[in-house]
Amino acid sequence: MSRPTRSTSALFCSILFLSLGVSALLSGCSDETITNPSAAISVTGNWQIASTAAAASKLSALSGAFTGTSASLTGILHSNSASACIAPAAAFGVTGSTNSTGVTTITGANVAGGVLTFSGNLAANGKSLSNATYNVAGGSCAFAAAVTGATAQDYAPITGNYTGSFSDPNGQLITVAASLTQSPTADANGNFTLSGTGTFPSNPCFNSPVTISNTQVTGGSFTFTYADPATQNSVTSNGTFSTDGTTLTVTNWTLAGPCGPDSGTGLLTEQ
């Protein structure tokens, strides 16, 4: 077999180069985690940390606010449950950073006398941490062992015009419209607030629009109250919402005042 000519060898080299380039491109497209750890990306927002592992049952969910970037973040977190080992009002500070392989580690001291460590893969958009290890060492919240498979998720603000309905166990249905705006920053405990109004069909219980009050947004949960000072009726709504902030699931609403009592569920969707 004859030896390849210079031009033939050059062609082989070009094909090899193109092949390697395409492979690298395809590899990059399939990687959903951060691909350039040295480029700091924003992680500021409303976050929730969660684990379903039995070993994490003492503190299975935390929520609060992160500020800063993947290179250097600070935050304030608290428990999501009144029955947890630490009260929701007992907020604590955390710090974190992302290493050269895209792994973000968050630590917090003074967690009911212990130290929290949470470490996971940061998504390219800076909105979640996956395949995470979660542990609390020492104190009354101490885990029996570090758990894996935990997650951390950023939730988009509840800001926009929403419509939907509330229903009760007797089949009564009422349409609801709400204009809501979430605060850009959290309070000292890592909770966000809402401002806005709600509108109901013409009825003797509420004079629309009704201003909302007693609001709180933390992680994927919310609560707010419609209170009409003229009729002395109020509806308090509690629930969860989608990560993009477009769907509010009211797991429970409670009517109090001359038109009550009543309760039920509801669903609001951003328009």
Judge whether residue 19 has pLDDT over 50.
no
Bridge partner residues of 150 (DSSP): 132
Ramachandran class of 68: left when φ > 0, alpha when ψ lies in -120 to 50, beta otherwise: left
DSSP 48-71: EEE---GGGGGG-EEEEEEEEETT
Judge whether residue 38 has pLDDT over 90.
no
pLDDT at residue 33, as a whole number: 61
159 and 248 Cβ atoms separated by less than 8 Å:
no
Average pLDDT over residues 120-137: 97
Which domains does the chain carry? 45-155 (2.40.128), 160-270 (2.40.128.120)
pLDDT category at 3 given cuts 50, 70, 90 is very low
The pair phi, psi for residue 200, each rounded to 5°, is -120, 160
Judge whether residue 263 has pLDDT over 50.
yes
pLDDT digits (tens, 9 = 90+) for 86-107: 999 999 999 999 999 999 999 9
pLDDT at residue 30, as a whole number: 38
User: How high does pLDDT run on average in the chain?
Assistant: 89
CA distance 29 to 33: 10
pLDDT at residue 9, as a whole number: 41
pTM for the model stands at: 0.85
- What are all long-range contacts of 20-26, with beta carbons under 8 Å and residues at least 24 apart? none
- Token readout for 90 is 């007992």
Average pLDDT over residues 252-261: 97
DSSP category for residue 232: T
pLDDT category at 2 given cuts 50, 70, 90 is very low
Nearest one of 88, 84, 188, 74 to 139, comparing CA atoms: 84
Question: Residue 10 is inside which H or E element, if any?
Answer: helix 6-29
pLDDT digits (tens, 9 = 90+) for 138-149: 999 999 999 999
224 and 201 Cβ atoms separated by less than 8 Å:
no
